[in-house]
Amino acid sequence: MGFLNFLMDYIVPFLFILTALVFVHELGHYLVARRNHVRIEVFSIGFGPEIYGWTDRVGTRWKISAVPLGGYVKMFGEDGMWDEEGKEKPLNDEDRAVSFPHKRLGQRFAIVAAGPIANFIFAVVLLAGLFGFVGNPSPLSGIGMVQPGSAAEEAGIKVGDMVLSINGEAIELFDDLRRIVSGYPGAPLKLVIRRDGVESTVSATPKRHKRIDKNGKEFEVGLLGVAPDPNHIRYERQGPLNAAWMAVEKSYELSTQILVALGEIITGERTAGELGGPLRIAQISGEMAQGGMANLIFFMAALSVNLGLINLFPVPMLDGGHLVFYIVEFVLGRPISPRIQEYGFRFGLILVLLLMVFATWNDLVHLKVFEFIKQLIV
């Protein structure tokens, strides 16, 4: 029963979210490719051996594969178009007309960019629906996560606490907590919290954190090291136009937060241990699903923005790497040689695999899997 609960609470929501996002991403490639008269040979959800599939009237094989961690659209001409010497294999006029490599540069660019763009559009649609039918989620001042070694942990703040006031100022929303705390870097604050129905006062000193504003000037903010509780959220329904605009704004905000966080990891302001992989995503998927459908939809939208953004990074094997090759082709006036592209894709594959291994290692450490195994051995 324990394994069955784990399967239904964590694995099923994770696979549902991942399958939906991969389908949307690949559908973006597919629709724009078909619009530009490219022959689609395979549309696969997952990798590896086919579990179930069918062939449509235009010859595309739609299938679900054994390893449900991604997917792909295989377009005619993407591989096997060059011989061992790097020379293009001859094609008849009919095949050339539906071959992806023989499309104009602008068409190829649009087809590749359509995947990430589809993820951004999907996020906006999800958020607009959420804001319109359920409401704009405003997290209350409950604590859902306390970062190890943070000012909150040192002050004795725990997950489940509700912050009622700071320095005598009553607060209700997590944004109020963030606003006040950010203005007191290194200064002690008195927080009134409620824990298990009992109110108490704690003293916390937000840690100093440097940030850079839009004009390039450096400034300090205070950080407690806490995150909102997804189970304590207030919703305010919006009209259709306002919901759509708020969805665009929220998608932009999520994109900015992701880029800022990655920049801080690169510069050392954050630890690389914050990078999460599939296990962490599965854990959060389960927690969001248990928190209700609204939480799950918001998480799916945030993950869709994440997927679209990451795929635009200029790394071979990702869509962004292909787009960089096309930009270089536009500048040079000719395509990059197949051999250089092949080396680039090999490098990109190694980089992506290393990143996945590193993120999965972080997941295992975060979920304390090694401690659990050690207890079993001892």
Contact 284, 367 (CB under 8 A): no
Residue with tokens 């394994």: 3
Does the annotation count 154 as an active-site position? Answer: no
Cα 178-17-141 angle, rounded to 5 deg: 20
- The dihedral of CA 91, 96, 98, 99: what is its sign? positive
Buried (b) or exposed (e) across 220-247, using 16+ Cβ within 10 A?
Answer: ebbbbbbebbbebbeeeebeeeebbebb
The Cα–Cα gap between 354 and 361 comes to: 10
The Cα–Cα gap between 40 and 75 comes to: 5
Contact 240, 227 (CB under 8 A): no
For residue 13, the number of C-alpha atoms closer than 13 Å in the C-beta half-sphere is: 25
Cα 70-59-92 angle, rounded to 5 deg: 110
The Cα–Cα gap between 358 and 275 comes to: 8
**Which SS3 state, helix, strand or coil, does residue 192 take?**
strand
Distances (CA, A) of 348 to 33, 115, 181, 239, 345: 24, 18, 41, 44, 5
From the list 26, 169, 264, 342, the catalytic residue is: 26
Cα 53-57-58 angle, rounded to 5 deg: 100
260, amino acid identity: V
- The dihedral of CA 64, 320, 353, 78: what is its sign? positive
Which pair of structure tokens corresponds to residue 273? 């241990």
Residues contacting residue 253 through CB under 8 Å, at least 6 positions apart? none
Residues contacting residue 25 through CB under 8 Å, at least 6 positions apart? 71, 115, 116, 118, 119, 307, 308, 311
Q: Which residues are catalytic?
A: 26
